[in-house]
Chains A and B, each alone.
Chain A
Amino acid sequence: MSVVVIKEECNGCEDCLASCPYDAIEMVDGVAWINEKCTLCLACIEACPVGAIIQEESKIELPDLDKDAYSGIWIFAEQRNGKVSTVAVELLGAGRKLAETTGEMLTAVLLGHDMEEAARELVHYGADEVLYVDDPLLAGFNDGPYASVLSDLIEERKPSIVLAGATFMGRSFIPMVASRVRTGLTADCTALDIDPDTGDLMQTRPAFGGNIMATIICPQHRPQMATVRHKVMHPATKDPHHKGEVHIIRGVDESRVDNRTKVLEVVEEIIDTVNLAEADIIVSGGRGLGGPDGFKIIRELALVLDGAVGSSRSAVDSGWIPYSHQVGQTGKTVQPKLYIACGISGAVQHLAGMQAADVIVAINKDADAPIFDVATYGLVGDVFQIIPEIIRSVNASRGQ
């Protein structure tokens, strides 16, 4: 299978050349031709105004996959220190929507120790079934044991879809699981749908640093695996009346578990102000602040609003604020009620991390900055004049 130009349809406009990030298209005799640098990213198909570029079907005969042998939508319920992460509730929300479309059962998989109550609670968030594997070896996360246990469960029970959070944990061990089970894994999905014709899972995710969205499928392998971004899917609502079965599997077969790496110590670092990922209000600063001192005013506003401090990549790369505050494609994804972007231009890579905020306020000197296209409230002007006024107004409205 490959991407090819239908010579007769090509009008020589060269739009495809301009769109190819890999320099894989050349003009040969006035017509576009795709060379071996092609990575099948499909950017050119999108760019061609006359539809002269197509994706050819594979000529290789693949063994027929019995898709009916695989059933069930699984979500991996990540936990740390005996507490299930909120990403699991989001996965249950997303999983439930898929289950309603396909008519399959929704299962939550929990690995840990002494977590029976947490396992039962997953039923209240919509799991029809919970597979809880209890073993002291699984109390704390480690790639080897987690990957071994989940892979074994998948091979034994054959789910059609497996979802996990695109967290440090998920992005670490889930690729190992997909590799072992010899199936496809799409990382960092922001949307999941079922193709009405094929029943396949359509996995949409940002690519090229968030500049473009790609929809990916895994047509000939099962299960279809995806890691899902935190704070993108809507969490399941709690229903104490929802019924489901909890299967507790006690003890793992140690001979099958890869236990070579060992966690010696866990160090939690206190990041100043509120935890960014969970914050309802975030005040964020970017290059327009001019330097590290510019963040003083950001912190003041965050304090007044009881919010967290965020940053664009620009400010982090310049050393003005630590990476833990970075919001964006290579930083954190946040979904606050209010996001105030100060001196941030609004590059696509930054938007990828915060565009799901309920209300976006943009403050920037440049009236043409792209951030204003996504802002609910756009304030054009000097950040250092505007923010003090906002603080004043907020205090006034509180009668201070």
Chain B
Amino acid sequence: MNIVVCIKQVPDTTKVKINPETNTLMREGVESIINPFDMYAIEEGVQLRESNGGTVKVLTMGPPQAETALREAIALGADEVYLVSDRAFAGSDTWVTAYTLAAAIRKMGPVDLIICGKQAIDGDTAQVGPSLAHQLGIPFVAFIRKVRTAGSDEMVVERMFEEGYEVVNLPLPGLMTVVKEINEPRMPSLKGKMKAKKAEITTFARKDLEVKDPHLGLDGSPTRVVKIFSPDLSRSGVKWQEEPAEMAKKLVEGLKEQKIL
């Protein structure tokens, strides 16, 4: 099975804080990591290779430093890694990212399955996976929590929805986006880490891909950010530090007054 896993290097947003004085982002000590959902995508690719044979190629689009994410992917079991990087790609929104990734995938040989994480924790849109499937003209399924069977022509998977899951058949070549329920990512092995140090990274720059100018980078992106601001969630309320029984009584009285109870 020829598997391609698309990953993204992102700042660890769970560690990003807001500077209380200026109300702006503070990146002190915030490291760049592989997007958490993509770790599950890599693990799923590796598990499918273990059961079906084949290769796992990991692809990312980003600045040159994204190379560290690719080396980590090797340590986690990827066979080959690819970096799509060029100043021309900077500022891409999800449509353009999918367009550019598709151009790279077309240069990577035959593909049976593309696996993406559900969403990136910086943009949070969950859009690149489905857009990429459209660009490549292949069927896709999103929010996959389990692979039931995987053959050469099709897979049967469980996709999540609010009240449960649906069992869906995905013909191959196809694309799936995965959620955290799907597996437990393994730790990188010592052997993997050694391999990662020496691994060769294939880079695709603009000149290596068949892409058209108006569709690249920020200029090709239909959406753009015009403003960012800190959410003001504060509300005025009461704060008590008394005997539990006292506070409980006051609370219940207050809630009854407000007709909540």
Residues of A within 8 A of B (CB): 1-2, 15, 18-23, 35-43, 45-47, 49, 58, 60, 62, 80, 142-144, 167-169, 171-173, 175-176, 178-180, 182-188, 202, 205-221, 258, 260-269, 277, 281, 305, 323, 329-330, 337-338, 348-349, 351-352, 355, 358-361, 367, 372-382, 385-386, 388-390, 392-394, 397
Contact = CB atoms under 8 A, between A and B. Distances in A.
B244 A385 contact: yes
Interface in B1-21: 11, 13-14, 16-19
B226 A216 contact: yes
A373 B237 CA distance: 8
Nearest to B158: A267
A260 to B, nearest CB: 4
Interface string B1-44: 00000000001011011110010111110101000000000000
A392 B228 contact: no
B238 interface: yes
A147 B7 CA distance: 25
Contacts of A352: 231
Contacts of B14: 209, 349
A245 B170 CA distance: 38
8 tightest A-B CB contacts, nearest first: A184-B222, A389-B248, A209-B13, A184-B223, A378-B239, A21-B11, A175-B130, A187-B125
Contact of B163 (A218, A268, A380, A388): A268
Interface stretch (B51-59, B75-83, B87-95): B87-95
A187 B225 contact: no
B123 A262 contact: no
A381 B166 CA distance: 44
Nearest to A269: B164
A144 to B, nearest CB: 6
A390 B251 contact: yes
Interface stretch (B107-115, B138-146, B189-197, B199-207): B138-146
A392 B141 CA distance: 49
B49 interface: no
Contacts of B233: 351, 355, 373-374
Contacts, number: 326
A1 to B, nearest CB: 5
User: What is the interface residue range for chain B against chain A?
Assistant: 35 or more
A263 B252 contact: no
A188 B13 contact: no
5 contacts: A47-B25, A144-B139, A176-B133, A178-B95, A182-B95
Given A173-B130, A215-B227, A359 B255 contact: yes
Contacts of A337: 260
A208 B13 contact: yes
Main SS of chain B's interface residues? mixed
Main SS of chain A's interface residues? mixed
B155 to A, nearest CB: 10
Contact of A390 (B142, B180, B225, B252): B252
Given A208-B25, A267-B167, A397-B256, A379 B247 contact: yes
Nearest to B181: A323
Contacts of B254: 377
B16 A209 contact: yes
B255 A218 contact: no
B222 A215 contact: no
B249 to A, nearest CB: 5
Contact of B26 (A18, A58, A266, A386): A18
B52 to A, nearest CB: 20
Contact of A176 (B24, B130, B163, B181): B130
A179 B125 contact: no
Nearest to B161: A168
B13 A19 contact: no
Interface string B144-175: 00000000000010111111111111110010
A392 B248 contact: yes
Contacts of A178: 95, 127, 131
Nearest to B236: A376
A380 B250 CA distance: 13
Nearest to A340: B251
Nearest to B241: A380
Nearest to B128: A175
A220 B163 contact: no
A43 B228 contact: yes
Contacts of A185: 94-95, 125, 127, 223
